[in-house]
Chains A and B, each alone.
Chain A
Amino acid sequence: MKRRKADLQQAPVTFAKGVDERFQASTPLRALLNKVFPDHWSFLLGEIALFSFIILLLTGVFLTLFFDPSMTETAYQGAYPALRGTEMSQAYASSLHLSFEVRGGLFMRQMHHWAALLFMAAIVVHMLRIFFTGAYRKPREANWVIGMALFLLGFLAGFTGYSLPDDGLSGTGLRIASAIMLSIPVVGTWVSASIFGGEFPGHLIIGRFYIAHVLLIPGGLLALITVHLGLVFKQKHTQWPGPMRTNTNVVGERMFPRYALKQGGFFMAVFGTVALLAGLFQINPIWLFGPYRASEVSSASQPDWYVMFLDGLVRLMPNWQIYIGDYSIPPLFWPAVVGLGFFTTAPMAWPWLEARKTGDKRVHNLLERPRDNPERVGIGSMAVTFFLIGTISGGNDVIADKFHISLNAMTWGGRIGLIVLPALAYFIAVRVCLGLQQHDREVLAHGVETGIIRRLPNGQFVEIHQPLGPVDEHGHPVPIEYGGWVVPKKMNRVGALAPAVKGFFYPVEKPSEAPVSPGMPPVSGDTREEITSGRK
C-alpha cells in the first residue's frame, strides 16, 4: 500500500483552495476579513451587552432543562431543610431543586441573573456613550431607535425572568405589575384579567411568562440585535476625529486577525467577570423568600435595578386620585403607565428633534467630544439625574434604614430633587463643557504650560509656555485651529519625557520607539530572538 506523504505546510492552502473552487468564497470573505473597525475603549461597551446576551442564552438553555413552569401545588421534600413540608408551586420547587440538588445549578442560575443585570447595565452605559458623543446623528438614527427598543425588550425579559421562580419576591413584583395594569382607566380590569387568566394570581401566569421569557422575547432580542449589528456593519462604525481621520474614511484595524482576536479575548473577559460575580456574590436567594403568598410581603422588596426608577417614581408620586363620573384614575397610573411609556419611547425621537433644532441635515461619521456640544451634554445630564433620583428613590427604604435617615425625609428629598436637581445638573454640565472648551482654546493659542517660572530683570515673574505650532517673528505662537480631538496639555504629551509605560500590568512589550532621553535609554535591538518551532 502506498502511503502518501502529507505536506502539512501546504494543508491550509489546499484546503482554502478547495473551498474557494467549490463555493467561490474568497471575494466576499476578503472584503469581510479586511473590513476595518476603529479602535477606542468606549466602542467596546456595546460588546459587553452582546456578550452578556450570549451568556444569557447559554446559561438559560441549561436552566430550562430543570425548570418546571407549572403552578400545581406540591409539598416540598427537597434538600433545603428550612422549607421541607411547605406547600408551594411546582415552579418554585423546581427552582429550589435546580439550586440545591442539580450539580452546578445554583452557579448557573446566579450566572444567568448576573448576566441579565450586566446586559441591562451595559446597554445603558453603551447608550450613554452613543448619546454624549453624538453617534446617533444621521445616518444612524434607526440604530438609536433599535437600541431603545432593545432596552425595552431587555426590561421585559428581565421582568418575566424575575417572576418565573414564583417565590415571595417575584410574586410581590407580579402583584405590583397587576396593580399597574389595573390602574389603567376603563380597560385596566380587562387587561389584568386577560393576562392573568382571571383574578390575580390565577394558575396560568407562570406558564405564559415562561413562553414569553424563553421564546418570544429572546427571539425579538435576537432579531433586533442582528439588525443592530447589521446596520453597524453597513453604515460603518463612527470614529473619533484625529490625524488622518475624516468623515469619509475609517481608520482602524482589520477584522481579521487583530480585531477578531481582541473581540474573542474580550468575550472571555466578560464571561470570566460574570462567572466571578456568580461565584462570589449571592444573588436572589429565592429560598429565603419562601413560596409566594399574597399575605406575606417582605420589607425591602425591590425590582432589579433597571426597573427601580419606575418603582422610585411610584414611591414619589403624591396621592392624587382623580374621579370622573363612575371611573377613577389612581395616582399609580401616572408614573407607572404614562411615565414608563414616555421615558422609554420619547427618547427615540431625540435624533430628529436635535436635527430639527440645529438644522443639521449632514451625514456624520465623526464623533463629537462631549465638551463640544454643551447643550447635548446638559440635556443628557438632566436625563441621567432624573433616572438616578428615581432609582435611588426605588431603594429609599433600604437607604433610609442603613444610613439612619427618616423615610419621609427621603421621599420628600426625592420629590423636590426630581424637580430641582435636573435643572442644576444641566447648568453645571454646560458650565463644565464651556470651561473645558475654553481651556482647549487657551492652550492652542498660547501653548502648553511648562511650569518654568522666569524672573525678568525688572523683577516680574512670567511663566514659559511651549507653543504647539510655529511662532511669528515676535516669538508669539501662531493660533492653531481646534480639530475636535484631544489637545495636549502637559509637556509629557508633547515629547518632553519618554513615553511612560501605560497600563497596570508589567508590560509584555517595551515601548518600541522611545526617544533618547536620560530618563530611559533607547531600546536595544539585540535582545530579540528569531521565532522558531521551539524544537532543539
Chain B
Amino acid sequence: MTSDTPARRRLRVFSRRRGAPSRARRRLGAAVRMLAALALAGGVYTAFAPGAFADEPRQLSATALEGKQLYDNSCISCHGRDGQGVDDRGPSLIGVGSASVEFQVGTGRMPMVRQEAQAEQKKPLFDKNQTKQLGQYIQELGGGPQVPEGELVENLDENAEALARGGELFRVNCTSCHGFGGGGGALSSGKFAPSLSASTPEEIYAAMLSGPQNMPVFGDNQLTPEEKREIITYITLQLQEDRDPGGLFNLGRYGPSTEGVAIFLVGITILVFTSLWIAGKS
C-alpha cells in the first residue's frame, strides 16, 4: 500500500483519538473495571459469608459427647474421624442426621459384621439410650433429617380414611420391593428389601427419611410427614396385625409360590395317603 507512510499514520492516529479511544486505553479501562468488580464481589463475600473452616472445636452437648465416645470406639474405623468417611470402607456421615443413625444402629445393622451386599438386621449392639447418644452426636456433627416427636400412627377413630390412603401409598411406593404383604423381596446381587413384619413405626419413619442400604430416600418433598404416617398406619394396623380373614395360615403371603408348595405338600400328600388307604382295603 503506497499510502501507508508514517505521516499518514500519525494523522490517522490523531484522527482516531478524536473518534474512539486507543486499544491501549480500552485495555486499561477494562482492567480497572474488572478490578473494581472483583473488589466489590470479594468484599461483599468477606463481609457476609461465614468462615471457611470452623475455627474452634464444636461445642457438643453432653449427650453428643457420650455418643462421640461410642463412635470413637465402634464406628471410627470405617466412618473415619468426625464422621468424614474412609474411602472404600464407609461413607461420610456428615448430614445423614439422627434418623439414619437410629435406624441403622437401632436395628443392629450397624456396626456391620463385614463388607457385603447389604447389612443384615441382627441383635443391636447398643441399647436405646446409647443409640440416642450416637444419633445426637451425628446430628450435631452435620445436621440432617430427624424422626419427629409424637405419635407416628394415625388414630383411626378420628381419621378413618388414613388406612385406605396409607394402603394406596404403600402399593404405589413400597410393594415393588417389599411385596404386597410387606414380607420383603429380593433385589439384584444378594441385596434385598427386608420384611416389615417386625418393624416399629419409628424404624419405618426413619427408613423412609434416610433411605438406608438400598432403599431410596422418601424425603418430605416426595412423601409429606402426613403421608408417611398414613403408610405407617397401614403397615402396623393392617399388615402386621394380620387381620385378614381366610384361615389360620396365610402361608407367609408370598403369593402363588407358597400356595403351589402347599397344594403338593398338603393336598396331594393327604390324597395319595388316602388312595393308598382306600386301595389297601380290598
Contacts and interface: CB of A to CB of B under 8 A. Distances in A.
Interface of A: 39-45, 47-48, 81-86, 99-100, 106, 110, 114, 117-118, 121-122, 125, 168-169, 253, 258, 262, 265-266, 269-270, 273-274, 276-285, 287-290, 293, 295-305, 308, 391, 394-395, 397-402, 404-409, 502-505
Given A168-B180, A299-B178, A118 B246 contact: no
Contact of B280 (A300, A305, A308, A503): A503
Contact of B189 (A125, A301, A408): A408
Given A280-B249, A290-B168, A299-B186, A117 B260 contact: yes
Contacts of A503: 277, 280
Contacts of A279: 247
Nearest to A41: B279
Given A168-B171, A258-B282, A106 B245 contact: yes
B255 interface: yes
A285 B250 contact: yes
Contact of A284 (B183, B259, B278): B259
17 contacts: A40-B279, A45-B275, A86-B168, A117-B260, A117-B263, A169-B255, A262-B278, A269-B271, A270-B271, A282-B247, A282-B251, A290-B167, A295-B172, A299-B184, A301-B255, A398-B254, A406-B190
B2 interface: no
Query: Which interface class (under 10, 10 to 19, 20 to 34, 35 or more) fits B?
Result: 35 or more
B119 interface: no
B167 A265 contact: no
A288 B267 contact: no
B226 interface: no
Given A298-B176, A305-B263, A285 B244 contact: yes
Given A270-B271, A280-B247, A118 B255 contact: no
A299 B163 contact: no
A399 B185 CA distance: 9
A303 B247 contact: no
A277 B257 contact: no
Contacts of B272: 41, 45, 125
Interface in B139-171: 156, 160-161, 163-164, 166-168, 171
Residue picked from A47, A273, A281, A397, most chain B C-beta under 10 Å:
A281
A121 B263 contact: yes
Residue picked from B264, B267, B282, most chain A C-beta under 10 Å:
B267
Given A48-B271, A277-B267, A41 B249 contact: no
Given A41-B279, A503-B280, 18 more contacts: A39-B282, A81-B156, A86-B164, A121-B268, A278-B247, A281-B247, A281-B251, A285-B246, A299-B175, A302-B257, A303-B256, A304-B259, A305-B260, A397-B185, A398-B185, A401-B186, A404-B190, A505-B277
B157 to A, nearest CB: 12
Contacts of B164: 81-86
Contacts of A168: 171, 175, 180
B49 interface: no
Given A114-B267, A290-B168, A401-B192, A305 B244 contact: no
B270 A273 contact: yes
A44 B275 contact: yes
Contacts of A122: 268, 271
B65 to A, nearest CB: 39
B34 interface: no
Interface string B231-265: 00010001100001111111101111111101110
B181 A288 contact: yes
A106 B246 contact: yes
A458 B277 CA distance: 51
A401 B271 contact: no
Interface of B: 117, 156, 160-161, 163-164, 166-168, 171-172, 175-181, 183-190, 192-193, 234, 238-239, 244-251, 253-260, 262-264, 266-268, 270-282
A300 B178 CA distance: 9
Contacts of B268: 48, 118, 121-122, 125
A404 B186 CA distance: 9
Given A118-B263, A122-B268, A262-B278, A299 B244 contact: no
A407 B279 contact: no
Given A118-B263, A282-B246, A285-B246, A299 B176 contact: yes
A113 B247 CA distance: 14
A273 B246 contact: no
B267 A117 contact: yes
Contacts of A269: 271, 274, 278
B266 A281 contact: yes
A268 B266 CA distance: 17
A295 B175 CA distance: 11
B276 A41 contact: yes
Contacts of A258: 282
Nearest to A262: B278
Contacts of B184: 299, 401
Residue picked from A45, A276, A398, A399, most chain B C-beta under 10 Å:
A398
B100 to A, nearest CB: 24
A121 B267 contact: yes
A290 B171 contact: yes
Nearest to A47: B275
Contact of A304 (B183, B260, B266, B270): B260
A397 B176 contact: no
Contact of B160 (A40, A81, A391, A395): A81
Given A82-B238, A282-B247, A406-B190, A41 B275 contact: yes
Nearest to A120: B263
Contact of A407 (B187, B244, B264): B187
B269 to A, nearest CB: 10
Given A277-B266, A401-B192, A100 B245 contact: yes
Contacts of A84: 160-161, 163-164
Residue picked from A106, A277, A300, most chain B C-beta under 10 Å:
A300
B248 A41 contact: no
Contacts of A505: 277
A287 B164 CA distance: 11
